[in-house]
Structure 1
Amino acid sequence: MNEIVESIVNKIDELFIRHYIELDLAKDLVVKIRTQAEHGSYNTLDLDKLTVILTKDLQSITKDKHVRVRRKAVNELSQQLTPEAARKVNNGFYKAEILDDNIGYIDFRLFYPTAWAAETGAAAMKFIANTDALIIDLRKNGGGDPEMVAFMCSYFFEERTHLNDLYCREQDSTEQFWTVYVPGPLYVDKPLYILTSSYTFSGAEEFSYNLKNLNRARIIGETTKGGANPGSWHVLPEGLEIFVPIAKSINPITKDNWEGKGVVPHVKILADKALTVALKEIRAKLIEKKEV
């Protein structure tokens, strides 16, 4: 292998052995990536092509969709994660409105850190507080901060509720996530629907998985992307960087997560039809409730 490829592969090996959530899988990855490099598989590629093929190879070994290589500071989540960028997209809350028949609707596209987004989330929940049912649209939500996931989940439970755990192999430690105090009225004892797509990922999947397994929400749409292992970006040589998952979600009810499987909806339907289906189902239930 040439010197550039060797330096990149060496750094990937180091990072995965040290940080990756599954040590045995990391060791397997090191062997396979180094073998590919020694066979010259990466030597003729320019850096842009190298990021694509490395990502493909790493994901094929780990089956982990969080793992990816890119040029440093491309236009993805890391650039979006600044207070100014968050402000420009209303901290991820694109729409909060009241639809016909007093049905609330929130289009929510990224779980920014609570320090930036909690106030906006609270405002959105206050706005829809008096509706008879609520739809949260996560079809364009790519994930984000687990504390913000817990914050938003907290509006749907009166009692303190265990939501999720994150186990970190490097520290051999588990962090628990429970519902927390949230400002404004709670949204309990009323129908809650979540819309998903094949794009719905990471923290947005956790939000859906938490509420599904606690029997608090009905999921309509497509099976989600399937990424349950959060982590962080690390610098590679030649102006590249790699995302290395360092922890894994463990749901307190299922003792499992959605990694590689996605969150399976109660009603599987094409994403662009999910809102129509949800509204139809909600309206039927509201009519039935009035007739009782």
Structure 2
Amino acid sequence: MLTNEQVVEHALERITAGYVFPEKAAVVDAAIRGRLAAGAYEGLDGPALCATVTAHLQEVCPDKHLRLLWTDEPQSLEPVDDDGGEAAFLALLRAENQGIRRVEHLEGSVGLIDVRRIATAAEGASAIGAAMQLVAHSSALVLDLRACLGGSPEGAAMWCSYFFRDDQVHLNDIYDRSTDTTRQFWTVAHLPAPRYADRPVYVLTSEATFSGGEDVAYTLQAHGRAVVVGGTTRGGAHPTARHPVAEHVLVTVPTARAVNTVTGTNWEGVGVVPDVQVPAERALEEALKALLSD
């Protein structure tokens, strides 16, 4: 069984090797090693160690994706099994209907899709297409991301693609530190359901909306394709890998950063600021009021 010092050391190795901003990784490493030397992590149980180290990490580098996480399920520590958390994420999506909680038709022929996670484009295309097919003939659409906790950049681009006429919209770019490359994300050419390019779209957000959910909200807002209603989101814009550093401890390391083609920046640390700011629990009411009064 690893000591707390060993767990933290392994986490720092991952952060130093992979964090998207190397200069910040060096500062994080020095600060946490100072805490180690001072005995800050001695005697803590696993969950408390994760919470304490996470707080210290974010004091130095306020990146909400940079964390130590406790997991009740034991993780393999074999290098061959370390896929950055992809297999676990795909299993979660399959168990949660590719992140789509419900689809409804509301008063005034307004469609509603409640999305809790952003699926990968490869596995989620059919489910996303099925949801969009069900609202294809609505007069307007509400995309509810108030409880969306994140997901795949490719999936975010697929969701956004439905709201543009063709594949000629350059949505954003993602710079990846490990390969020192920038990948462009454009609207998808072929979709399994009709596009929704000619009708109003409202996106609901809350203080819980995070990561991939923020990507969809920010991108549609920046390109002038949706009105965002609700609360300012959490502010996590860096695609992230998860690595086991002990049987029950994962370190999440942001390895890339998004750059929107309209704003030239992203929502890291500031969140997506709604066009109409209201308490999240009133966001649907406000969106419907605006849609039905048009």
TM-score by length of 2: 0.91
Structure 2 CA distance for partners of 1:73 and 1:47, relative to 1, 3 Å: closer
Q: What displacement does 1:148 show?
A: 0.9
Alignment correspondent of 1:174: 182
Whole-angstrom CA distance in 1 between matches of 2:253 and 2:179: 15
Amino acid at match of 1:248: R
Q: What displacement does 1:87 show?
A: 3.8
2:33 is aligned with 1:34 = yes
Q: What displacement does 1:99 show?
A: 0.7
The within-5 A match list for 1:264-279 is 264-279=273-288
Task: Note the alpha carbon deviations across 1:163-203, whole angstroms, 9 max, x for none.
Answer: 11111123211111111121221111211000000110001
Whole-angstrom CA distance in 2 between matches of 1:88 and 1:152: 20
2:15 is aligned with 1:6 = no
Q: What displacement does 1:96 show?
A: 1.1
Amino acid at match of 1:44: G
Q: What displacement does 1:72 show?
A: 4.0
Alignment correspondent of 1:236: 245
Which deviates further from its counterpart, 105-114 or 234-243?
234-243
Q: What displacement does 1:266 show?
A: 0.2
Q: What displacement does 1:154 show?
A: 0.7
Structure 2 CA distance for partners of 1:97 and 1:256, relative to 1, 3 Å: same
Select 1:196's aligned residue among 195, 202, 205.
205
2:127 is aligned with 1:120 = yes
Select 1:187's aligned residue among 193, 196, 202.
196
Select 1:94's aligned residue among 84, 101, 110.
101
Structure 2 CA distance for partners of 1:79 and 1:269, relative to 1, 3 Å: farther
Whole-angstrom CA distance in 1 between matches of 2:239 and 2:104: 31
Which deviates further from its counterpart, 149-158 or 5-14?
5-14
Amino acid at match of 1:276: E
Amino acid at match of 1:31: A
Amino acid at match of 1:93: I
The within-5 A match list for 1:147-226 is 147-159=154-166, 160-180=168-188, 181-226=190-235
Structure 2 CA distance for partners of 1:178 and 1:138, relative to 1, 3 Å: same
Q: What displacement does 1:78 show?
A: 6.9
- Aligned CA RMSD, in angstroms, stands at 1.8
Percent pairwise identity? 39
Whole-angstrom CA distance in 1 between matches of 2:19 and 2:116: 27
Alignment correspondent of 2:79: none
The within-5 A match list for 1:244-283 is 244-283=253-292
Whole-angstrom CA distance in 2 between matches of 1:191 and 1:136: 11
Alignment correspondent of 2:18: 19
| Contact 1:5–1:37 (CA under 8 A) maintained in structure 2 | no
The within-5 A match list for 1:43-54 is 43-54=42-53
Structure 2 CA distance for partners of 1:79 and 1:55, relative to 1, 3 Å: farther
Q: What displacement does 1:73 show?
A: 5.7
Other structure's SS at 1:50 match: helix
Amino acid at match of 2:269: G
Q: What displacement does 1:12 show?
A: 2.3
Which deviates further from its counterpart, 272-281 or 64-73?
64-73
> Mind listing any 5+ residue stretches in structure 2 that lack a counterpart?
75-84
2:62 is aligned with 1:63 = yes
Structure 2 CA distance for partners of 1:89 and 1:5, relative to 1, 3 Å: closer
Whole-angstrom CA distance in 2 between matches of 1:39 and 1:219: 46
| Contact 1:229–1:247 (CA under 8 A) maintained in structure 2 | yes
| Contact 1:226–1:260 (CA under 8 A) maintained in structure 2 | yes
Amino acid at match of 1:122: G
> Mind listing any 5+ residue stretches in structure 1 that lack a counterpart?
286-292
Other structure's SS at 1:101 match: helix
What is the number of residues matched between the two proteins?
281
Q: What displacement does 1:22 show?
A: 0.7
TM-score by length of 1: 0.91
Whole-angstrom CA distance in 2 between matches of 1:98 and 1:278: 14
| Contact 2:243–2:252 (CA under 8 A) maintained in structure 1 | yes
Which deviates further from its counterpart, 111-120 or 189-198?
111-120
Task: Note the alpha carbon deviations across 1:228-270, whole angstroms, 9 max, x for none.
Answer: 0111111213632100000011111111110000000001111
